[in-house]
Chain A
Amino acid sequence: MSATVAVPQTQHAGEIERYTFAERLMHWLSGFTYLYCLGTGLAFYSPHLFWIAYVLGGAPTSRFWHPIVAIVFVLGTVWMHVLWSRDMEMTEGDKRWLDGIQAYITNHDEQLPLADRFNAGQKLYYWLMVYGALFLLFSGIFLWFPEYVPRQAAWVRRVMILVHEVAALVTIGGFIIHIYMSVFMEPASVTAMTTGYVNRGWARTYHRLWYLRVTGQKE
């Protein structure tokens, strides 16, 4: 005779699932591994930021883990590509969205073409990180094992360090905007990426096409 306690099923009531558990796991795996590589990478990038390596366990330790964690980041990015590449395809609407990006920057979102699951800005950031990861991986292999690059090909090492640095700086540019957008501009997106859910109003306002699709509504 056990009495059951009725737990009110209000959690996420009236909300829409934006990111599955797998998507959230994948996002944070990629995110935190990127953050580690960013910190240790910046330490090697500038003497003024070398203290970051001390905070993260010492400079030789940072040198040891940076490429290994980077591999996890690349795997996370591959996983991301498996889950999101279809949603990230640029459409005609996205091109018009990008043409009118001024309206997005100045918070006149109503003037923009309706966004699907991801808007064109998110897609742009996605492709920037995918190609950034490719460049970082390719050049990074040479930086990981420079002892196997023969002396006659010393120029390869020089070029790869340059490629690695430029690719890293480009991703940092995107990363700054990404963090700013998600934490400050659209705080609902942090909740979405942690709990997985967004409220309907937000979905309808900022991702109308996606909202209509997942709710089976027509405009």
Chain B
Amino acid sequence: MANGTLQIKAISGHAGTVPGKNTSRDYDVCKLIDVTTCIGCKACEVACLEWNGYPFRETVFDNTYQTMPDTAWNYYNLIRFNEHVNEDGTLSWLMRKDQCMHCADPGCLRACPADGAIVQYTNGIVDFQQENCIGCQYCVTGCPFNIPKFNPTTKKVHKCTLCSDRVGAGLEPACIKACPTGCLHFGTKDDMKDLAETRAAQLREHTSHKDAGVYDPPGVSGTHVIYVLHDINNPERYGGLPKDPRVPWMVRLWKGPLKWIGNFGMVAGIIGVAAHYMRFGPKAEAEPEESKK
């Protein structure tokens, strides 16, 4: 996808320059999910499968309306159904569309060792390039949202592309197109943030949801999928949405300081032995005749 909207600004495991590094476009794209108007119809799940060309996969019935327990390598998009008992004894039936959040600081891309297996476009989309994937699953380890999923047959990892192939052609993602309630919106990050804040304010002022707010976690420098939640203080209730997602510090450690310590150590070791050779030279050759003593 070499067109303008899909110019690349970050490449996993890449030593050289990146064409779009530090460039910023006029706008980042963003998907807004207003969970307060989701009716759990799963039209987005179907549209996702259809656009990506996957057949419906086997599932497990777990006594909920949820299609399957978790997203899968060929099931990027899943409505999570959660029943929450409120303090006053009433029940909240929470539905959250779960898929890749397209973090501005993507843990998957940071953790990935394979050159070009994960790219980030200047419009904010984080995309996996399966032809470069080596199947090590470090991305799974680096993701704070449990999104990348491994295909055991092809040994490649897959996840939601935010329909980069549609967005690159000027279309909205398939899930957005299928949503019947207007709970899903797609546009620029600024516009979506604005719309989300307006909706959250409306909920706070005109409904009983006094803690309504917008989920755009700063720990990963914001995401390109944002939520309006009834209760911004308890995102975990929505099927385990993390309160303060971050790239795990251990991933930062082994992709950051440890690399530099190790590289320094290896280079210093090689220089060290070379210097030793010049200073002291090899061990003295032993005379074979000595044995005849």
Contact = CB atoms under 8 A, between A and B. Distances in A.
B76 interface: no
How many A residues touch the partner, as a band? Answer: 35 or more
B262 interface: yes
B262 A157 contact: no
B53 interface: no
B284 A107 contact: yes
Contacts, number: 132
- For chain B, the bracket of interface size reads 35 or more
Contact of A205 (B273, B276, B286): B286
B52 interface: no
Interface string A86-113: 0000000000000000000111010000
B61 interface: no
B289 interface: yes
B270 A200 contact: no
Interface string B242-256: 000000101101100
Interface of B: 13-15, 113-115, 132-138, 140-141, 146, 150, 152, 155, 248, 250-251, 253-254, 258-259, 262-263, 265-266, 269-270, 273, 276-277, 280-291
For the complex of A and B, 6 pairs with smallest distance between CB atoms: A200-B291, A201-B286, A201-B290, A180-B273, A63-B134, A47-B15
26 contacts: A47-B14, A50-B13, A60-B155, A63-B135, A64-B155, A107-B280, A109-B283, A146-B137, A147-B137, A154-B248, A158-B251, A162-B250, A172-B269, A173-B269, A176-B266, A176-B269, A176-B273, A180-B276, A184-B277, A185-B277, A187-B282, A199-B291, A200-B291, A201-B286, A201-B291, A206-B283
